[in-house]
Amino acid sequence: MTAPPAGTAEIAPGAVHVPGWLSLERQSFLVEQFRAWAAGPVPPTAAKVRGHEMSVRTVCLGWHWQPYRYTREASNVNGRRVLAMPSWLAALGREALTAVGDPDAAAYEPDTALVNYYDATAKMGMHQDKDEVSLAPVVSLSVGDTCRFRFGNTETRTRPYVDLTLASGDLFVFGGPSRLAFHGVTTILPGTAPAGCGLTTGRINVTLRVTGL
Ligand SMILES: O=C(O)CCC(=O)C(=O)O
Ligand SMILES: [Fe+2]
């Protein structure tokens, strides 16, 4: 097995942070793709959770997520079918799992991507990603402004948790015993996006998942 990339940190069993995993070129490619996805049949939308609009806007690929289920059509937006999951993005997920030394990386077949856009004031409350039937790892990629990311435990949305920063290009994987850990984004740090990443303001986060549907 090859050594993990420099700076790799195991945050909890099954949860691994790899700072700067994506090159600037790949970051700006993702942003370019995001613009195309956002112009697609279903625009990025602030999902409503118990009557309140989230501050994050999300566009989905493969399957459409809305609280708290996956469908092929975006029935809470405009009823259109979401774009297909690109095969290059699934391959990037396998590359990510290979980078963190997951022995099952080659068999990873994410069938959905949730692409979130955060403006300077957006946040995401502590939650579990548990609408998937599969417990395959979630692969998270960040581009643009740095955020403070809170990664907690599987039992409660409160302590113990670890606060870390996710910067442009960072990879974060959570699987195994951490797959159902609560996590959230507490703050965006405006003005921290590196030149050349493709975004001058805001943050994009892509999570790759296996729905098991
Ligand atoms: O933006 C992030 O880093 C986390 C996103 C997230 O937790 C989600 O989309 O479920
Ligand atoms: Fe999440």
Count of C-beta atoms within a 10 Å radius of residue 118: 22
Reported as a single tens digit per residue, the pLDDT across 116-130 is 999 999 999 999 999
Distance CA 137, CA 139 (A): 6
Res 1: pLDDT: 61
Distance CA 19, CA 15 (A): 13
Distance CA 123, CA 68 (A): 18
Ligand 1 pocket residue status of 146, Cβ below 6 Å: no
Residue 2 predicted with pLDDT over 90: no
Reported as a single tens digit per residue, the pLDDT across 61-109 is 999 999 999 999 999 999 999 999 999 999 999 999 999 999 999 999 9
Q: How far is the CA of 78 from the centre of ligand 1 (A)?
A: 23
Ligand nearest to the CA of 170: 1
Reported as a single tens digit per residue, the pLDDT across 151-197 is 999 999 999 999 999 999 999 999 999 999 999 999 999 999 999 99
Residue of 139, 200, 189 whose CA lies nearest to 163: 189
Ligand nearest to the CA of 180: 2
Domains and CATH numbers, the chain: 9-209 (2.60.120.590)
Res 3: pLDDT: 83
Distance CA 65, CA 75 (A): 10
Ligand 1 pocket residue status of 167, Cβ below 6 Å: no
Query: Please, which residues have CB within 8 angstroms of residue 52's CB and are 6 or more apart in sequence?
Result: none
The DSSP line for 78-146 is TSPBPBPPPHHHHHHHHHHHHHTT-TTGGG----EEEEEEE-TT--EEEE---S-S--PPEEEEEEESE
Q: In ligand 1, which atom is closest to the CA atom of 183?
A: 7
Q: In ligand 1, which atom is closest to the CA atom of 58?
A: 9
- pTM for the whole structure: 0.98
Which residue CA neighbors atom 10 of ligand 1 most closely? 129
Distance CA 55, CA 45 (A): 10
